[in-house]
Structure 1
Amino acid sequence: MRDALTPVKPPESELLIVTGMSGAGRTTAAHALEDLGWYVVEGLPPELITTMMDLVARNPGSVEKLAVVLDVRSRNLFSDMLSALEQVKAAGMTYRLLFLDASDDLLVRRFEQGRRPHPLQGSGRVLDGIVAERDLLQEVKAGAEVVVDTTDLNVHGLARAVTEIFSADGPTQLRLNVMSFGFKYGVPSDANFIADVRFVPNPHWVPELRALTGQDAAVRDFVLVDEGAGEFVDRYLEALYPVLEGYRRENKHYATLAVGCTGGKHRSVAIAEELARRLDQLPHVTVNTSHRDLGRE
């Protein structure tokens, strides 16, 4: 007779466990997963994971993708989760674990801005609660298949990252945003890399090219035919390859490469497009291109 706590393996069902540091974005990640068609359950005690999977199994086809969001309010989170997942594994179900993290400084700011206490701070400071939670979850993080650091992501950036990683095509190991910008409008604060291409001859001073942008063939050819621009693209990519491979090894799934010229209209756009085109040919990499200042006067 089957153990009442051991779930039947539901056909073609997928289980995702979402956990991480309080304030690192679990709710945002949950909303993004819902938008992707996942059935999301928040605040479920770990010991009830097998019960939930059993309910799914009894209704084949009702839930194909189940995401369970766990938080530190369960003091025995690690041991209870391991016990539950061992039973899920014994039933032949596969699962993934998503861990959301962020720097201590950012987490402190988020709690202070929200004017709410950390669930583990007790009579101490917010930072005391964060330190205690990080210690409690260190083994959980070490066992996670996907770790997303949200320190440099706003709400929309995190939603995009989760969407990319858990889309129907499967997890993306590295997502790159190649962005063009104009230095006169300020340097992007969320860029991991910043390249200055103001050394390239400026199409702005060519009358027939001035009204065009780096997305137009005439401007692109003008910019990329320059010997310095071509050499820059080749060498910049050579320098990036080992870094991107290291990001994948270290479970860093999102990075922004910012390319800047004076106004963000000609040179940076053309070179960002060329970098994105060549980076998109790499395995296990998805590239998005954005032009922050294109269209500004």
Structure 2
Amino acid sequence: MTEPEGRSVLFVTGMSGAGRTSVANVLEDDGWYVSDNVPISLIAQLVEMVRSSEVGADRIAMVVRGGDPAFATEMAALRRDLEEGGASTKMIFVNASDEVLVRRFEQVRRRHPLQGTGTLGEGIAAERAIMEPVATAADTVIDTSNLSSTRLRQIVENAFPNVGRRRLSIAVQSFGFKYGLPIDCDLVADVRFLPNPYWIPELREHNGREPRVRDYVLRQDDASEFLDRYVDLIAIVARGYLREGKGYMTLGVGCTGGKHRSVAMSEELSRRLTALIDDDGQPLYDVEVTHRDLGRE
């Protein structure tokens, strides 16, 4: 299935506990404007507001939760009204077996929305009766009973592909080991193997963003080779992250005080990563560099 041209409104609905939120998260990561649990009577207004506002989204996903016996009829009327207004609509129905739904609700110790004073099984049965005609009208039905989160992401992305290729966002952060490791780094590079400019009096009061310190650090033996190999390593990890559905990476680059070597190497690493392009001439990564400990005494 290919994504419709122009303004697209994608409805995500289905059985409670089947994974509507997981699908919405995938869509949001892929650039859709996602809104959850909006009353059907307000959806048309919200779509127009989002489209005409500074958000300017042309790909809008609405997570719609059933429960009312008239839900199928209301959804059909809403889609018809939106399409008459020039929008293309699609609907994903997320399903799972009764056994799996029971297990998931028991694991999180939550009541089913339609359970009332009855049993969990009765609540699931009541919702399934309401949602059966909605599933029949859906463009895509995804049974998550035996799906991993990675496989679910692949199915959603293949059914509704992103307008452009997903790029990994990479945050490069220099730091000083003497002040502790950053808590959010995926990879940490220790550049204390390089000579420390701190011990050179004319460089001590300067930092790795300044040419004199930067040039000193980068011309040291093994500095360039380390960067070459580290960029290659990042490429391997980046491919895996995107394949597994993770859209960002945080790289820590540390030296003793976070002022000289780590700063210069972070800046150069960021420059090299930013310069990489794909076969279409587009950047491979969105890169941002920060220096956690640069301002410390």
Q: TM-score range by the shorter chain?
A: 0.5 to 0.7
Letter in 2 for 1:284: L
Equivalent residue for 2:63, pick from 58, 67, 70: 70
For 1:212-291, list aligned pairs within 5 A. 212-282=206-276, 283-291=283-291
- Secondary structure at 1:238 match in 2: helix
What percent of counterpart residues are identical? 40
Query: Structure 1: how far apart are the matches of 2:240 and 2:90?
Result: 25
Please list every run of at least 4 consecutive aligned residues from structure 1 whose deviation after the TM superposition is greater than 6 angstroms: 83-92, 94-97
Larger Cα-atom Rg = 2
Partners of 1:42 and 1:69 within 8 A in 2: yes
Letter in 2 for 1:274: E
Equivalent residue for 2:157, pick from 145, 154, 164: 145
Identify the residue that residue 20 of structure 1 maps to in structure 2.
21
When residues 268 and 60 of structure 1 are mapped into structure 2, their CA distance, relative to the original with a 3 A threshold, is closer
- Secondary structure at 2:194 match in 1: coil
Residue 244 of structure 1 deviates from its aligned partner by 1.5
Query: Structure 2: how far apart are the matches of 1:232 and 1:173?
Result: 24
- Secondary structure at 1:288 match in 2: strand
Equivalent residue for 1:52, pick from 40, 43, 48: 43
- Secondary structure at 1:252 match in 2: coil
Matched, 1:122 2:111: yes
- Secondary structure at 1:179 match in 2: strand
When residues 199 and 55 of structure 1 are mapped into structure 2, their CA distance, relative to the original with a 3 A threshold, is closer
Q: Deviations over 1:200-239 (max 9, x none)?
A: 0001111111111110010000000001212211111122
Residue 12 of structure 1 deviates from its aligned partner by 4.9
Residue 74 of structure 1 deviates from its aligned partner by 4.7
Partners of 2:267 and 2:289 within 8 A in 1: yes
Query: Structure 2: how far apart are the matches of 1:25 and 1:56?
Result: 19
Identify the residue that residue 126 of structure 2 maps to in structure 1.
none
Query: Structure 1: how far apart are the matches of 2:172 and 2:258?
Result: 13
What is the RMSD of the two structures over their aligned residues, measured on CA atoms? 5.0
Residue 188 of structure 1 deviates from its aligned partner by 1.1
Letter in 1 for 2:63: L
Mark the runs of 5 or more structure 2 residues left unpaired by the alignment. 13-19, 93-106, 113-143, 277-282
Query: Structure 2: how far apart are the matches of 1:96 and 1:218?
Result: 59
For 1:170-185, list aligned pairs within 5 A. 172-185=166-179
Identify the residue that residue 109 of structure 1 maps to in structure 2.
none
Residue 53 of structure 1 deviates from its aligned partner by 5.0
Letter in 1 for 2:242: R
Query: Structure 2: how far apart are the matches of 1:202 and 1:289?
Result: 21
- Secondary structure at 1:294 match in 2: coil
Identify the residue that residue 198 of structure 2 maps to in structure 1.
204
- Secondary structure at 1:195 match in 2: strand
Matched, 1:293 2:293: yes
- Secondary structure at 2:156 match in 1: coil
Q: More deviation in 134-143 or 172-181?
A: 134-143
- Secondary structure at 1:189 match in 2: coil
Residue 60 of structure 1 deviates from its aligned partner by 11
Partners of 2:8 and 2:87 within 8 A in 1: no
Residue 13 of structure 1 deviates from its aligned partner by 3.1
TM-score (norm 2): 0.57
Letter in 2 for 1:273: E
